């Protein structure tokens, strides 16, 4: 079988995995979750602001004799990373990540886990303080949950914070194909500093080799797709808020890389983790926070009007599938090779001589028809042109007139006159900028 790198090399120097362009505009996929609209007036009567899982949903529970009973089903699912890329993944209750479990410190919870996979599994409640026998490490704490079986986990929540869940059975495979979820525990006595909007997502990486339909669990570092809640830009929901609201974003990492998550427009405070919301003396202002593998981090900020980029700062993590080992075409005149490849692949156009930004235009024009089921390396359109991103990128959209509890996409920001960078010249010799001259 032709490997991905070989394939990319064969498609021609500079032809990064290109392809069927996904829809250009950020399409908000309607969340399954029914998050209650909570205004500042009603907030005092609510025990907590329900968390909003980007592109995801919250698992409903049943009260049974004072116990909150949840039911997770481990199963194979068809998942769409963005229009143009679907895969056979594994998840819970029809999605990857699985639904968010949300509860309150002090709750007694019972979680039924039914295994509809064809191999055994378990669930580890990552970061949650519980009896050893409920910790979910197959073989160590419990027998494996065989195909068709249902196990019950039951424990009392002794803490609050941003926790996660994932299998601790054939972990490399089961996590690589999407089995994970978030477990949010709200403090019993409410928040000393109230929150207006509470978002959460998990970062992940996927070896979805171009032209394939199943993530490859054997890959250690060289991934093709980088996701927030198993979605890539432009299919990731925006974080929306009203000017002045206090927004928390809870981020967890069950991928194979650390992710320095950067937000434009504000200094956020790093305020918590799986250790709960930290005391204020530990809060620190940042604009980038690394979410290490296995960690969670909560950030909070006061919303400032505008459209603000929010993304991982590893620049390859904001791209989709690409050839990491293709020859470097930067500065290379490819006129001759262009003609040679055109004989075999009509419509081929060499690129990359002056940089990669032209990639998105080429794909939009239909050049470099890539493998099927493969997203373009960079994509997305904004009000001023191509955004040239993919993967772990979304936007924070803050508006003065956003209604409390409204999570719909407000469209692009109408910047006040005089506040957008503009062209003052098209002459490269314009002005007299100082340049360093060696002696
Ligand atoms: Cu990253």
Question: Model confidence at 176, in pLDDT bands (50, 70, 90)?
Answer: very high
Q: Please give the distance, rounded to the nearest whole angstrom, from the Cα atom of residue 394 to the centre of ligand 1.
A: 13
CA distance 313 to 165: 25
**pLDDT per residue over 302-324, tens digit each?**
999 999 999 999 999 998 876 55
* Gap between the Cα atoms of 362 and 15, Å rounded: 10
Contacts of 294 (CB under 8 A, 6+ apart): 126, 253, 254
Cα(222) to ligand 1 centroid in Å equals: 12
Domain ranges of the chain: 1-58+171-412
Q: How many angstroms is it from 92 CA to the middle of ligand 1?
A: 24
* Cα 294 to middle of ligand 1, angstroms: 14
For ligand 1, the distance from its centroid to the CA atom of residue 223, given in whole angstroms, is 11
Predicted structure pTM score:
0.84
- pLDDT given at position 375: 84
Pairing, β 108-115 against β 67-82: parallel
SS3 267: coil
* C-alpha distance from residue 413 to each of 32, 242, 396, 417, 419 (Å): 26, 13, 11, 12, 12
Per CATH, domain 1-58+171-412 is 3.40.50.620 = no
Distance 103 CA to ligand 1 centre (A): 29
pLDDT digits (tens, 9 = 90+) for 226-279: 999 999 999 999 999 999 999 999 999 999 999 999 999 999 999 999 999 999
| pLDDT tens-digit map of 2-51 | 343 333 333 333 333 333 233 333 333 333 333 333 344 334 455 799 99
The tokens for 153 are 């986990």
Ligand 1 centroid–CA 39 distance in Å is 34
Taking 70 as the threshold, does the pLDDT of residue 399 lie above it?
A: yes
Is the CA virtual torsion 330, 331, 332, 338 positive or negative? positive
DSSP code of residue 58: B
Residue 136 has pLDDT above 80, yes or no: yes
List the structure tokens of 252.
């967890």
Protein residues placing their CB within 5 Å of the ion ligand 1: 259, 312, 314, 317
User: When comparing pLDDT for 95 and 333, which is higher?
Assistant: 95
Residue percentage of the chain with pLDDT more than 70: 85
**C-alpha of residue 236 to centroid of ligand 1, in Å:** 15
């Amino acid at each position: 079988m032709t490997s991905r790198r070989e394939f990319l090399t064969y498609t021609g120097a500079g032809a990064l995995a290109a392809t069927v362009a996904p829809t250009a505009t950020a399409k908000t996929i309607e969340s399954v979750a029914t998050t209650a609209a909570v205004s500042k007036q009603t907030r005092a009567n609510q025990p907590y602001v329900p968390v909003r899982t980007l592109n995801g949903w919250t698992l409903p529970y049943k009260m049974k004799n004072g116990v909150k009973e949840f039911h997770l089903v481990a199963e194979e699912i068809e998942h769409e990373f963005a229009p143009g890329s679907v895969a056979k993944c594994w998840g819970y209750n029809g999605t990857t990540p699985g639904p968010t479990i949300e509860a309150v410190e002090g709750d007694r919870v019972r979680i039924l886990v039914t295994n509809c996979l064809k191999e055994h599994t378990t669930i580890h409640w990552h970061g949650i303080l519980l009896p050893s026998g409920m910790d979910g490490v197959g073989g160590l704490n419990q027998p494996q949950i065989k195909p068709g079986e249902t196990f019950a986990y039951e424990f009392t929540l002794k803490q609050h914070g941003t926790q996660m869940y994932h299998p601790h059975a054939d972990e490399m495979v089961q996590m690589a194909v999407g089995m994970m979820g978030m477990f949010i525990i709200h403090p019993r006595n409410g928040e000393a500093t109230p929150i207006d909007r509470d978002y959460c997502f998990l970062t992940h990486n996927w070896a979805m080799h171009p032209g394939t339909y199943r993530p490859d669990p054997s890959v250690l570092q060289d991934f093709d797709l980088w996701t927030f809640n198993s979605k890539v830009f432009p299919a990731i929901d925006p974080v929306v808020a009203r000017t002045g609201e206090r927004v928390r974003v809870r981020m967890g990492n069950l991928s194979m890389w650390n992710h320095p998550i950067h937000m434009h427009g504000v200094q956020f405070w790093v305020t918590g983790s799986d250790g709960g919301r930290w005391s204020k003396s530990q809060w620190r202002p940042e604009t980038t926070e690394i979410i290490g593998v296995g960690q969670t981090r909560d950030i909070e900020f006061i919303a400032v009007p505008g459209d603000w980029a929010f993304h991982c700062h590893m620049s390859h993590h904001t791209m989709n599938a690409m050839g990491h080992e293709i020859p470097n075409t930067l500065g290379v005149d490819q006129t001759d090779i262009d003609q040679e490849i055109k004989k075999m692949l009509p419509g081929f156009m060499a690129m990359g001589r002056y940089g990669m930004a032209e990639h998105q235009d080429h794909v939009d024009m239909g050049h470099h028809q890539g493998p099927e089921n493969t997203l373009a390396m960079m994509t997305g359109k904004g009000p001023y042109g191509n955004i040239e991103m993919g993967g772990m990128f979304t936007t924070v959209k803050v508006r003065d007139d956003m209604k409390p509890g409204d999570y719909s996409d407000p469209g692009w920001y109408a910047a006040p006159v005089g506040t957008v960078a503009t062209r003052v010249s098209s002459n490269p010799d314009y002005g007299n900028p100082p340049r360093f001259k060696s002696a």
